[in-house]
Each structure stands twice: as C-alpha cells, then as structure tokens.
Amino acid sequence: MVKIAPSILSADFCNLERDIQRIHTADWVHVDVMDGAFVPNITIGVPVVKSIRRHTDMFLDVHLMVDKPIRYVGEFCKAGADLVCIHLEADHPTHIQQALDIIEAHGVKKAVALRPITSPEAILPYIHQLDMVLVMTVEPGFGGQAFMESQLKTIARVREIINQYNPQCDLEVDGGINHDTAEKVVAAGANVLVAGSAVYGASDIPAAIASLRVQD
C-alpha cells in the first residue's frame, strides 16, 4: 500500500493546525527543514516541530535539508519526530553514521536522502539499518518544481538495493509528485509519496490525496 505524505511547506504557516487537519486522510505529515546553507531556502526548525507534535497524532516525517545534521538530530527526535531523514551529502560518512546512531538511540525511525546528483549506490554502507530511503525528484530547496524524469532510474535502482538487502525499508520520493508522476514513481518502486503543491494547491484536498493513491 502506497503511503501519502503531504508536505506542509505548501501550507499556510499562520494556519498550520487547520492545514494539518485538512490532510487527515493522508498517512504522514512531511516536514521540510531548510537551513539556508545546505539549500538556499530557510523554513522551520525544532520549536515548530514541537508545536506540531502537540496538535496532531499523525506520523511526523521530518526531512532535514541542513548541513552537518548530527548537530540537530537529537533535538528533532525530542521535539516529537517519528522519523528523521538526513542527506548523505550533508556531512562526512562517519558523521552520517553517528547521526543515524543518535536517531536510533531516541527510538525514532531513521532515513537517508539523496540529491538528484547522488548515486543510488551511496546508500550501500547504511541500507541494512535504515527504515527509509528518500530519493529527491527535484533539486531540494523549494516546492512547486517540475519532476525530474531522469530520477526514475535512480528510484528503480534504489528499489533493487532495498529488495536485496532490507526489504522492509520504505522508499520515499519527494518533488513534483502529482497524479501523473505518482503512477511513474510507484511503477519504478516508490511506496511513500511526498506532495506539497499537488495537495495544498487543490480545491478539494481529500480528493487530491485520494488521486495520489495509485496502485502498486
């Protein structure tokens, strides 16, 4: 079963409680944290995740687009994240492993994300211990960008690696997902779909979420 994770990057931050309530038919809430260094944009941080946690029981999928995430993963776990995802490009491999160990020690699910430039094989040293791999289907930083068709090959290769080494691991895709691209990424092997503008830009949000639930 495909899981749908609307990104609150496209929500109204002055009405975040209302906008999280509006996606209650989805599976997860995707929270995009950007630091203005790993990516050019700045969004939200630990206090906002803490507040969101007080207002919803939904699964909080926290996507950290920050340099040296080891500095912050513990704080996001304590703030109430259910899953913390760090970018493989954001630090040296030893620090990536240490950051994953910190997430694990908090009893929180752990994931790594790949920018479009990063080879699928980069997940090999970590795959056995991961709960999820996130394949970016746009360059991280902004909502509303066009889906990169070239990432379908990366999704398919990551699916092969997951099936070989850790079949329980989820494969999430993020960027430019709508009803049409959802079919392609699910066919390539994705099972968690992030969507910002396709959900919050729709006049009927439950219908938009339902239209992303394509068959796998």
40 is a site residue for ligand DX5 (CB under 6 A): no
204 is catalytic: no
* String marking each residue 141-180 x if it binds Zn ion according to CB under 5 A: ---------------------------------x------
d(C-alpha 171, C-alpha 190), whole Å: 5
Alpha-carbon torsion (206, 77, 13, 51), positive or negative: positive
Rg over alpha carbons for the chain, rounded to the nearest Å, is 16
Per-residue x/- track, 56-85, Zn ion (CB under 5 A): -------x----------------------
- Residue 174 found at the interface with ligand DX5 (CB under 6 A): yes
DSSP codes joined into one string, 147-202: P-TTHHHHHHHHHHHHHHH-TT-EEEEESS--HHHHHHHHHHT--EEEESHHHHTS
Question: What sign for the dihedral angle of Cα 71, 171, 23, 197?
Answer: positive
Closest residue by Cα to residue 69 from 41, 88, 43:
88
* Closest residue to Zn ion, based on beta-carbon distance: 63
Instruction: Provide CB contacts within 8 A for 147, sequence distance 6+.
Output: 137, 138, 175, 176, 177, 178, 181
* Site for Zn ion, residues 17 to 46, rule: CB under 5 A: 32
Q: Which of residues 184-203 bind ligand DX5 (CB under 6 A)?
A: 194-198
Position among 3, 4, 7, 69 found at the interface with ligand DX5 (CB under 6 A): 7
Residue tagged active-site, from 19, 61, 131, 174: 174
Answer yes or no whether residue 141 interacts with ligand DX5 by CB under 6 A: yes
Between residues 123 and 125, which has the closer beta carbon with respect to ligand DX5? 123
Among the listed residues 42, 144, 210, 216, the single contact to ligand DX5 using CB under 6 A: 144
Report phi then psi at 174, rounded to 5: -150, 120
Cα separation, 83 vs 90, whole angstroms: 18
The answer to whether 101 is a known catalytic residue is: no
Residue from 32, 61, 131, 170 binding ligand DX5 (CB under 6 A): 32
| Interface contacts to Zn ion, rule CB under 5 A | 32, 63, 174
Catalytic residues: 32, 174
| Interface contacts to ligand DX5, rule CB under 6 A | 7, 9-10, 30, 32, 63, 138, 140-141, 143-145, 174-177, 194-198
